[in-house]
């Protein structure tokens, strides 16, 4: 799209910002901006302030690396969660997917990625050291390896099992209700919930 088609430099600036988002092209960004121009000033200001808050107020939980507004996320800070059970996931979106099932009452640990030698991602590039420290210091009784059913996810799971085995009494994995190659965030809530409830010991899982 030529800049000549956009008569306002402020509209152009907004289009450039929105089109930098994943899966948002310049035409879609322009449509969004033109739609937002129909909003009243208060709504636009509220939207702008919410975006500013993302940069200034949102943090990562220092315990599990979930999103948080304070030092600890709501899950880690809750006295009603099982503090002896940790579900290990790849991304924050996986936490949201599992929470939506309402079938899990423990804690989480977000790795922030998986081991992928082909992409140059090793164990030190994801949040594994902090996980091992947590399990050792917090007296964790069970960890659930809830990683995506991909080659990289399985590679990471095997690595974690080897590292966690001396530290934790029980290491389990999701029941195979999710097909290989699928991601947790796209699994339906019923299937994912059953996979959590019917989890099996990692070393006895059908892999």
DSSP states of 73-98? -HHHH-TTS-TTEEEEESSHHHHHHH
Identify whether residues 99 and 13 lie together within a single domain: no
Q: Considering the domain boundaries, does residue 62 fall inside one? A: no
Identify whether residues 100 and 157 lie together within a single domain: yes
Identify whether residues 52 and 135 lie together within a single domain: no
Identify whether residues 187 and 144 lie together within a single domain: yes
Give the position of tokens 């033109």.
34
Give the position of tokens 């290989």.
180
Q: What is the pLDDT of residues 63-122, one digit of tens each?
A: 999 999 999 999 999 999 999 999 999 999 999 999 999 999 999 999 999 999 999 999
Query: Rounded to the nearest 5 degrees, what angle is found at the Cα of 145, between the Cα atoms of 78 and 175?
Result: 105
Identify whether residues 91 and 138 lie together within a single domain: yes
Identify whether residues 100 and 14 lie together within a single domain: no
Identify whether residues 95 and 149 lie together within a single domain: yes
Distance between CA atoms of residues 91 and 189, nearest Å? 17
SS3 60: strand
Q: CA 179 → CA 31, 38, 153, 183, 189, distances in Å?
A: 37, 44, 13, 9, 14
Give the pTM. Answer: 0.82
Q: What is the pLDDT of residues 12-59, one digit of tens each?
A: 999 999 999 999 999 999 999 999 999 999 999 999 999 999 989 999
Q: Say if residues 114 and 125 touch (Cβ distance below 8 Å).
A: no
Phi, psi of 130 (to 5 degrees): -70, -30
Distance between CA atoms of residues 76 and 68, nearest Å? 10
**DSSP tag of 54:** H
Q: What is the pLDDT of residues 151-184, one digit of tens each?
A: 999 999 999 999 999 998 899 998 765 544 456 7
Structure tokens at 199: 């989890």
Average pLDDT, the chain: 89
Please report, for the domain that includes residue 84, its CATH number: 3.40.1360.10
Please report, for the domain that includes residue 33, its CATH number: 1.10.8.420
Q: CA 136 → CA 20, 71, 101, 110, 118, distances in Å?
A: 42, 21, 28, 17, 30
With bands split at pLDDT 50, 70 and 90, how would you rate the model's confidence at 141? very high
Q: Say if residues 142 and 152 touch (Cβ distance below 8 Å).
A: no
**DSSP tag of 153:** H
Q: Say if residues 123 and 115 touch (Cβ distance below 8 Å).
A: yes
Domain count of the chain? Answer: 2
Owning domain of residue 156: 79-204
């Amino acid at each position: 799209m030529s800049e000549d088609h956009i008569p306002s430099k402020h509209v152009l600036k907004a289009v450039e910002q929105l089109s930098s988002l994943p899966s948002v092209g310049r035409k879609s960004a322009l449509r969004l901006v033109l739609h937002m121009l129909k909003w009243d000033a208060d709504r636009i200001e509220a939207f702008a302030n919410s975006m500013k808050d993302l940069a200034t107020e949102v943090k990562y939980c220092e315990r599990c690396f979930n999103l948080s507004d304070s030092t600890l996320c709501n899950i880690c800070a809750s006295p009603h969660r099982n503090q002896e059970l940790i579900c290990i996931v790849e991304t924050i979106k996986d936490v949201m997917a599992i929470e939506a099932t309402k079938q899990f009452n423990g804690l989480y640990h977000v790795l922030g990625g998986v081991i992928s030698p082909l992409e140059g991602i090793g164990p030190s590039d994801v949040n594994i050291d902090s996980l091992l420290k947590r399990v050792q210091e917090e007296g964790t009784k069970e960890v659930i390896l809830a990683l995506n059913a991909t080659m990289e996810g399985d590679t990471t799971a095997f690595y974690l099992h080897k590292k966690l085995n001396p530290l934790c009494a029980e290491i389990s994995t999701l029941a195979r209700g999710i097909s290989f190659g699928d991601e947790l965030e796209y699994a339906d809530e019923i299937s994912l919930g059953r996979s959590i409830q019917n989890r099996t010991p990692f070393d006895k899982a059908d892999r």
